[in-house]
Structure 1
Amino acid sequence: MIEKINLANILFLDIETVPETDDYRLLDNDVQSLWEHKTQYQRKEDVSGEDFYDRAGIWAEFGKIVCISVGYFTFKSDIRHFRVTSFFGEESKILHDFSNLINNHFNLPQHVLCGHNSKEFDLPFIARRMIINQIKLPEKLNLFGKKPWEVPHLDTLELWKFGDYKHFTSLKLLTKVLGIPSPKDDIDGSQVGHVYYVEKDIDRIVTYCEKDTIAVAQIFLRLRREDLLVDDEIIHI
């Protein structure tokens, strides 16, 4: 039962990703060919690999992470706070800093990671990019040999499915039906690449990513039938 989980033991997270380069033509011929092959069933017949390249950020082999936002609860007496911080900049540094946070502060058996669709996207993406960047996986991401019930990950999408594996509910839809302020009041995931490469506005991406992280925490509270966070309880570090 999720009501039995100590909120202070959960690290909530969200990531933002973009294509690895801003121009398809900068990819070498081998990578272009591999991209064409990888996306042959996702593209319509009249859509070229180059035209489809703005979607590359959803594949760890062709994209990169530009921001990881995390949040966690703290309690002092009867005062509750949710502290939010973000890692952004050069990808290798983002991954090193995130790994250090987990290893130093969320590495005990009771600690778990939580996101929305994070088991399918965020956490595998982070792990794959760590391997590509030759960064040692923290134990919370190293799932080899673990049984399903030993995996220290929570997923609000999975919790909302209630065993219905065919069902997908976006973060925006779930916040709407649960009466939670939408985090999608500026940009959405499909626009992150443009904001990053064309507008060069990383602060806008960080704000968007942090709003998603807060929304995940709010969903988790709602699933536990607890009061939602109010602005005074949210601290941006």
Structure 2
Amino acid sequence: MTDDFRKRAKNFLLLDIETVASHASYDALSERMQKLWDKKSLALNKGDETISSSDSFIDKGAIYSEFGKVVCIAFGAYYWNENDQLSFKVRSFSGDDEVQLLLEFKSLIEKYPADQLVLCAHNGKEFDFPFLCRRMLIHGISIPKALQISGKKPWELLHQDTMELWKFGDYKSFTSLDLLAAVFDIPGSKNEMSGDQVTRVYYTEKDLEKICRYCREDVIVLAQIYLRLNCMETVAPENIHRIE
């Protein structure tokens, strides 16, 4: 473990978000949003009109910030315990009130120096970070400096993305967190559920804590993968602390 990593770890947050469709059903959308989703759905399904807008909304609405919302943000940080062993702690913010959830997260990251905080997520540059920023703007919440990218020079952008790190400049394919975990022989996070089930678990089972457990486990997997991508040993299971 290098001294440089110990120094960076003080301002390093790994995160994952869970999103759901903005409403429990397509019918609950306003007429204006229904028409816009109809267009989106037809494009997503490549013109296949046998797939209804209602079904596609539940299946895919959560992916798009215009039609989805954040219900959980899990985040974790490395630290060294009293025996100087690398450790990791993870917790989450969650709730039905997205505004309150986003404000809690904003308050958290603004406790760190904006020019030093490194945020890391898997596919974060294409999903997690922009999704959070767009939902903040929709609710009239100013974007914290650590998430802002406009006007910044490339070397001023501190965001880390494990999918990007794995690509090494190759943009031909998407590599899931679960696949990387398997490649590195790291225990996965799909024991209770998978990402495509989140909207149904939220609206049908009404089990937000189940979603949060899944989200926190994803952050643990992310943390272990980040270490392996930097040729470091993973955190021992007994040194991983889940804060519920």
TM-score by length of 2: 0.92
1:155 paired with 2:157, answer no
Q: Distance in 2 between matches of 1:126 and 1:66?
A: 11
SS at match of 1:82: strand
Corresponding residue to 2:52 among 19, 39, 48: 48
Residue 4 of structure 1 deviates from its aligned partner by 4.5
Q: Distance in 2 between matches of 1:189 and 1:3?
A: 36
Residue 169 of structure 1 deviates from its aligned partner by 0.5
Q: Distance in 2 between matches of 1:35 and 1:177?
A: 37
Match of 1:86 in 2: 92
Match of 1:95 in 2: 102
Larger deviation: 226-235 or 162-171? 226-235
- Provide the aligned length of Structure 1 versus Structure 2: 235
Structure 2: tracts of 5 or more residues without a match: none
1:222 paired with 2:228, answer yes
Match of 1:25 in 2: 27
Among all aligned residue pairs of Structure 1 and Structure 2, give the percentage whose two residues are the same amino acid. Answer: 45
Corresponding residue to 2:62 among 57, 63, 81: 57
1:57–1:64 contact (8 Å) kept in structure 2: yes
Residue 186 of structure 1 deviates from its aligned partner by 1.7
Match of 1:12 in 2: 14
Q: Which amino acid aligns with 1:212?
A: D
Q: Distance in 1 between matches of 2:27 and 2:114?
A: 45
Q: Which amino acid aligns with 1:154?
A: Q
1:107–1:139 contact (8 Å) kept in structure 2: no
Q: Distance in 1 between matches of 2:239 and 2:181?
A: 19
Q: CA RMSD in A?
A: 1.6
Q: Which amino acid aligns with 2:32?
A: D
SS at match of 1:52: helix
Q: Distance in 2 between matches of 1:173 and 1:211?
A: 15
Structure 1: tracts of 5 or more residues without a match: none
The C-alpha deviation readout for 1:126-159, integer Å capped at 9, x for no partner, is 0000111111110011111112222120000000
The C-alpha deviation readout for 1:41-60, integer Å capped at 9, x for no partner, is 21233112112111100000
Q: Distance in 2 between matches of 1:165 and 1:92?
A: 34
Q: Which amino acid aligns with 2:108?
A: L
Q: For 1:122-133, list aligned pairs within 5 A.
A: 122-133=128-139
SS at match of 2:146: coil
SS at match of 1:67: strand
Residue 108 of structure 1 deviates from its aligned partner by 3.9
2:70–2:98 contact (8 Å) kept in structure 1: yes
TM-score by length of 1: 0.94
Q: Distance in 2 between matches of 1:14 and 1:195?
A: 18
